[in-house]
Amino acid sequence: MQSSSITPKVCILAGSPRKNGNTASLLRPFSEALEQRGAAVERIRLHEKTVKPCIACRTCQNIPDAFGCPYDDDMQSVFLSVLAADCLILACPIYSWYCTAPMKAVLDRLVYGMNKYYGKIQGLSLWKDKTAALFLTCGYRIENAVSPFRTGMINYCRHSKLRYAGMFAARDRGYAVPFMTEEKAAGAADFARRLHDRLITRDTDAEPISVSIE
Ligand SMILES: Cc1cc2nc3c(=O)[nH]c(=O)nc-3n(C[C@H](O)[C@H](O)[C@H](O)COP(=O)(O)O)c2cc1C
Protein backbone atom coordinates (compact mmCIF):
# COMPACT_ATOMS: atom_id res chain seq x y z
CA MET A 1 0.00 0.00 0.00
CA GLN A 2 1.11 3.58 -0.59
CA SER A 3 1.86 5.46 2.62
CA SER A 4 0.01 8.72 3.26
CA SER A 5 3.25 10.64 3.77
CA ILE A 6 3.62 14.10 2.18
CA THR A 7 7.34 13.35 2.15
CA PRO A 8 7.30 10.70 -0.53
CA LYS A 9 9.78 7.87 -0.21
CA VAL A 10 11.44 7.06 -3.51
CA CYS A 11 13.36 3.82 -3.96
CA ILE A 12 15.71 3.80 -6.95
CA LEU A 13 16.80 0.40 -8.18
CA ALA A 14 19.96 1.16 -10.16
CA GLY A 15 20.73 -1.54 -12.72
CA SER A 16 23.94 -0.39 -14.41
CA PRO A 17 27.19 -2.24 -13.73
CA ARG A 18 29.01 1.12 -14.11
CA LYS A 19 29.10 3.00 -10.81
CA ASN A 20 29.89 6.30 -12.55
CA GLY A 21 28.32 5.50 -15.90
CA ASN A 22 25.69 7.27 -17.95
CA THR A 23 22.66 6.25 -15.90
CA ALA A 24 24.44 7.20 -12.66
CA SER A 25 25.37 10.63 -14.09
CA LEU A 26 21.71 11.34 -14.75
CA LEU A 27 20.54 9.97 -11.43
CA ARG A 28 22.50 12.73 -9.67
CA PRO A 29 20.38 15.69 -10.92
CA PHE A 30 17.27 13.51 -10.70
CA SER A 31 17.86 12.63 -7.02
CA GLU A 32 18.91 16.18 -6.14
CA ALA A 33 15.71 17.61 -7.61
CA LEU A 34 13.61 15.08 -5.69
CA GLU A 35 15.44 15.80 -2.43
CA GLN A 36 15.13 19.56 -2.94
CA ARG A 37 11.37 19.03 -3.02
CA GLY A 38 11.46 17.04 0.20
CA ALA A 39 11.43 13.45 -1.04
CA ALA A 40 13.41 10.80 0.80
CA VAL A 41 15.51 8.98 -1.78
CA GLU A 42 17.14 5.58 -1.36
CA ARG A 43 19.34 4.27 -4.17
CA ILE A 44 20.19 0.58 -4.35
CA ARG A 45 22.98 -0.47 -6.73
CA LEU A 46 21.93 -3.91 -7.86
CA HIS A 47 25.41 -4.96 -8.99
CA GLU A 48 26.56 -4.64 -5.37
CA LYS A 49 23.86 -7.06 -4.25
CA THR A 50 23.52 -10.81 -4.48
CA VAL A 51 20.15 -11.54 -6.04
CA LYS A 52 19.68 -15.07 -7.34
CA PRO A 53 17.22 -15.72 -10.16
CA CYS A 54 13.72 -16.93 -9.28
CA ILE A 55 13.45 -20.74 -9.61
CA ALA A 56 9.62 -20.86 -9.59
CA CYS A 57 9.42 -22.89 -6.37
CA ARG A 58 6.25 -20.87 -5.58
CA THR A 59 6.89 -20.98 -1.82
CA CYS A 60 6.19 -17.21 -1.70
CA GLN A 61 2.73 -17.74 -3.18
CA ASN A 62 1.44 -19.40 -0.03
CA ILE A 63 2.84 -16.74 2.31
CA PRO A 64 0.20 -14.03 1.90
CA ASP A 65 1.58 -11.13 3.92
CA ALA A 66 5.37 -11.20 3.49
CA PHE A 67 8.04 -11.77 0.84
CA GLY A 68 8.15 -15.48 1.64
CA CYS A 69 11.11 -16.29 -0.59
CA PRO A 70 13.27 -19.12 0.82
CA TYR A 71 16.49 -17.69 -0.68
CA ASP A 72 18.48 -15.96 2.04
CA ASP A 73 20.16 -13.38 -0.19
CA ASP A 74 20.12 -9.57 -0.56
CA MET A 75 16.68 -9.64 -2.17
CA GLN A 76 15.20 -9.87 1.33
CA SER A 77 16.36 -6.30 2.09
CA VAL A 78 15.61 -5.03 -1.43
CA PHE A 79 12.04 -6.30 -1.00
CA LEU A 80 11.66 -4.40 2.30
CA SER A 81 13.01 -1.18 0.75
CA VAL A 82 10.54 -1.41 -2.13
CA LEU A 83 7.68 -2.23 0.25
CA ALA A 84 8.51 0.84 2.39
CA ALA A 85 8.59 3.20 -0.62
CA ASP A 86 5.79 5.19 -2.23
CA CYS A 87 7.55 5.23 -5.58
CA LEU A 88 9.83 2.77 -7.32
CA ILE A 89 12.27 3.94 -10.00
CA LEU A 90 13.72 1.33 -12.35
CA ALA A 91 16.95 3.05 -13.44
CA CYS A 92 18.78 1.02 -16.03
CA PRO A 93 20.72 1.03 -19.28
CA ILE A 94 19.04 -0.89 -22.06
CA TYR A 95 20.91 -4.14 -22.71
CA SER A 96 19.82 -6.29 -25.68
CA TRP A 97 16.49 -4.39 -25.94
CA TYR A 98 15.64 -5.01 -22.30
CA CYS A 99 17.16 -4.39 -18.87
CA THR A 100 20.41 -5.72 -17.38
CA ALA A 101 20.49 -9.19 -15.83
CA PRO A 102 20.47 -8.11 -12.14
CA MET A 103 17.46 -5.86 -12.81
CA LYS A 104 15.65 -8.76 -14.47
CA ALA A 105 16.40 -11.02 -11.50
CA VAL A 106 14.95 -8.38 -9.14
CA LEU A 107 11.85 -7.91 -11.30
CA ASP A 108 11.19 -11.67 -11.33
CA ARG A 109 11.67 -12.01 -7.58
CA LEU A 110 9.31 -9.05 -6.98
CA VAL A 111 6.57 -10.07 -9.40
CA TYR A 112 6.07 -13.29 -7.44
CA GLY A 113 7.09 -12.14 -3.94
CA MET A 114 4.82 -9.08 -4.09
CA ASN A 115 1.86 -10.54 -6.03
CA LYS A 116 0.25 -13.46 -4.23
CA TYR A 117 -1.92 -14.54 -7.12
CA TYR A 118 -0.98 -18.21 -7.51
CA GLY A 119 -1.24 -19.80 -4.04
CA LYS A 120 -3.82 -22.24 -2.67
CA ILE A 121 -5.91 -19.17 -1.81
CA GLN A 122 -5.60 -16.26 -4.21
CA GLY A 123 -4.01 -13.35 -2.38
CA LEU A 124 -3.33 -9.68 -2.95
CA SER A 125 -0.74 -7.45 -4.51
CA LEU A 126 1.32 -6.26 -1.53
CA TRP A 127 2.53 -3.21 -3.47
CA LYS A 128 -0.83 -2.15 -4.89
CA ASP A 129 -1.09 1.59 -5.68
CA LYS A 130 2.59 2.36 -5.39
CA THR A 131 3.92 4.51 -8.21
CA ALA A 132 6.54 3.17 -10.60
CA ALA A 133 8.58 4.95 -13.27
CA LEU A 134 11.37 4.14 -15.72
CA PHE A 135 14.70 5.96 -15.92
CA LEU A 136 16.61 4.63 -18.91
CA THR A 137 19.69 5.21 -21.02
CA CYS A 138 20.35 3.57 -24.37
CA GLY A 139 22.60 3.68 -27.40
CA TYR A 140 20.11 3.39 -30.24
CA ARG A 141 17.32 5.80 -31.14
CA ILE A 142 15.21 6.03 -28.02
CA GLU A 143 11.87 4.82 -29.33
CA ASN A 144 13.46 1.80 -31.01
CA ALA A 145 15.70 1.06 -28.03
CA VAL A 146 13.27 1.34 -25.12
CA SER A 147 9.94 0.15 -26.50
CA PRO A 148 10.22 -3.60 -25.60
CA PHE A 149 11.19 -2.86 -21.99
CA ARG A 150 8.68 -0.01 -21.64
CA THR A 151 5.88 -2.23 -22.98
CA GLY A 152 6.94 -5.02 -20.64
CA MET A 153 6.98 -2.70 -17.65
CA ILE A 154 3.61 -1.13 -18.44
CA ASN A 155 2.16 -4.65 -18.47
CA TYR A 156 4.13 -5.54 -15.34
CA CYS A 157 2.68 -2.50 -13.53
CA ARG A 158 -0.88 -3.29 -14.59
CA HIS A 159 -0.47 -6.91 -13.47
CA SER A 160 0.99 -5.78 -10.13
CA LYS A 161 -1.58 -2.98 -9.59
CA LEU A 162 1.21 -0.40 -9.61
CA ARG A 163 0.62 3.08 -11.03
CA TYR A 164 2.87 3.54 -14.05
CA ALA A 165 3.94 7.21 -13.96
CA GLY A 166 6.10 7.38 -17.07
CA MET A 167 9.61 7.31 -18.44
CA PHE A 168 12.74 9.41 -18.66
CA ALA A 169 15.14 8.24 -21.38
CA ALA A 170 18.43 9.61 -22.67
CA ARG A 171 20.63 8.43 -25.50
CA ASP A 172 24.34 7.67 -25.42
CA ARG A 173 25.73 8.89 -28.76
CA GLY A 174 28.76 6.60 -28.61
CA TYR A 175 32.08 6.16 -26.87
CA ALA A 176 33.65 9.19 -28.64
CA VAL A 177 30.94 11.63 -27.52
CA PRO A 178 30.67 12.91 -23.91
CA PHE A 179 27.38 11.57 -22.53
CA MET A 180 26.36 14.32 -20.16
CA THR A 181 24.93 17.57 -21.49
CA GLU A 182 23.12 20.44 -19.79
CA GLU A 183 19.99 19.40 -21.65
CA LYS A 184 20.11 15.88 -20.21
CA ALA A 185 20.76 17.10 -16.66
CA ALA A 186 17.89 19.60 -16.94
CA GLY A 187 15.62 16.90 -18.39
CA ALA A 188 16.35 14.52 -15.52
CA ALA A 189 15.62 17.27 -12.97
CA ASP A 190 12.42 18.22 -14.81
CA PHE A 191 11.28 14.58 -14.77
CA ALA A 192 11.94 14.50 -11.00
CA ARG A 193 9.85 17.63 -10.41
CA ARG A 194 6.93 16.33 -12.46
CA LEU A 195 7.10 12.94 -10.78
CA HIS A 196 7.19 14.58 -7.36
CA ASP A 197 4.08 16.64 -8.23
CA ARG A 198 2.38 13.41 -9.29
CA LEU A 199 3.26 11.76 -5.97
CA ILE A 200 1.88 14.69 -3.99
CA THR A 201 -1.33 15.21 -5.96
CA ARG A 202 -2.02 11.46 -6.47
CA ASP A 203 -3.59 12.27 -9.81
CA THR A 204 -4.52 8.75 -10.89
CA ASP A 205 -6.01 9.84 -14.23
CA ALA A 206 -2.92 11.69 -15.40
CA GLU A 207 -1.17 10.55 -18.57
CA PRO A 208 2.29 9.01 -18.11
CA ILE A 209 5.09 11.57 -18.07
CA SER A 210 7.49 11.17 -20.98
CA VAL A 211 10.88 12.88 -21.28
CA SER A 212 13.22 11.66 -24.03
CA ILE A 213 16.53 13.29 -24.93
CA GLU A 214 18.31 12.08 -28.05
C1 LIG B 1 26.21 -5.38 -23.30
C2 LIG B 1 25.52 -4.13 -23.77
C3 LIG B 1 24.34 -4.23 -24.44
C4 LIG B 1 23.70 -3.09 -24.91
N5 LIG B 1 22.52 -3.21 -25.58
C6 LIG B 1 21.89 -2.10 -26.03
C7 LIG B 1 20.64 -2.20 -26.73
O8 LIG B 1 20.09 -3.27 -26.95
N9 LIG B 1 20.05 -1.06 -27.14
C10 LIG B 1 20.60 0.17 -26.92
O11 LIG B 1 20.01 1.18 -27.31
N12 LIG B 1 21.78 0.29 -26.25
C13 LIG B 1 22.42 -0.80 -25.79
N14 LIG B 1 23.60 -0.68 -25.10
C15 LIG B 1 24.14 0.69 -24.82
C16 LIG B 1 23.81 1.16 -23.39
O17 LIG B 1 22.43 1.04 -23.11
C18 LIG B 1 24.21 2.62 -23.21
O19 LIG B 1 25.55 2.82 -23.53
C20 LIG B 1 23.93 3.09 -21.79
O21 LIG B 1 23.90 4.49 -21.74
C22 LIG B 1 24.95 2.60 -20.78
O23 LIG B 1 24.60 3.09 -19.51
P24 LIG B 1 25.57 2.99 -18.21
O25 LIG B 1 26.81 3.76 -18.52
O26 LIG B 1 24.76 3.55 -17.12
O27 LIG B 1 25.84 1.53 -18.00
C28 LIG B 1 24.26 -1.81 -24.65
C29 LIG B 1 25.48 -1.73 -23.93
C30 LIG B 1 26.12 -2.87 -23.50
C31 LIG B 1 27.40 -2.76 -22.73
Q: Given this model, what pLDDT does residue 5 score?
A: 55
Does residue 162 belong to any structural domain of this protein? yes
Within a domain: 29: yes
154: left (phi over 0), alpha (psi -120 to 50) or beta: alpha
Query: 23 CB under 6 A from ligand 1?
Result: yes
Does some domain include residue 15? yes
Nearest atom in ligand 1 to the alpha carbon of residue 92 is 26
Q: Taking all residues of the chain, what is their mean pLDDT, rounded to a whole number?
A: 96
Per-residue confidence band for 55, with pLDDT thresholds at 50, 70 and 90: very high
Query: Could you tell me if the CB of 138 is within 6 A of ligand 1?
Result: yes
Ligand 1 contact via 141 beta carbon (within 6 Å): no
The pLDDT of residue 193 is 98
From the CB of 131, is ligand 1 less than 6 Å away?
Answer: no
Closest to 76 measured CA to CA, from 30, 44, 99: 44
Flag whether 1 is in a domain: no
Can you give the C-alpha Rg of the chain in angstroms? 17
- Does the structure show a pLDDT above 60 at 3? no
Q: Using most ligand atoms within 8 A of CB, pick from 13, 27, 172 the residue to mutate for ligand 1.
A: 172
Q: Is residue 4 part of a domain?
A: no
pTM for the predicted model, two decimal places:
0.97
Residue 2 lies in a domain: no
Is residue 3 in some structural domain? no
Domain count, the chain: 1
Distance (Å) from CA 59 to ligand 1 centroid: 34
143 lies in a domain? yes
Q: Is ligand 1 within 6 A of the CB of residue 94? A: yes
Residue 138 sits in a domain of what CATH number?
3.40.50.360
Its domain, for residue 104, covers: 9-213
**Residue 35 Cβ < 6 Å to ligand 1:** no
> In this structure, which residue's CA is closest to atom 17 in ligand 1?
138
Beta carbon of 160 within 6 Å of any ligand 1 atom = no
Output the residue whose Cα is nearest ligand 1's atom 5.
95
Per-residue pLDDT tens over the stretch 153-173: 999 999 999 999 999 999 999
Confidence of residue 42 (pLDDT cuts 50, 70, 90): very high
pLDDT tens, 93-150?
999 999 999 999 999 999 999 999 999 998 999 999 999 999 999 999 999 999 999 9
Closest atom of ligand 1 to CA, residue 179: 21
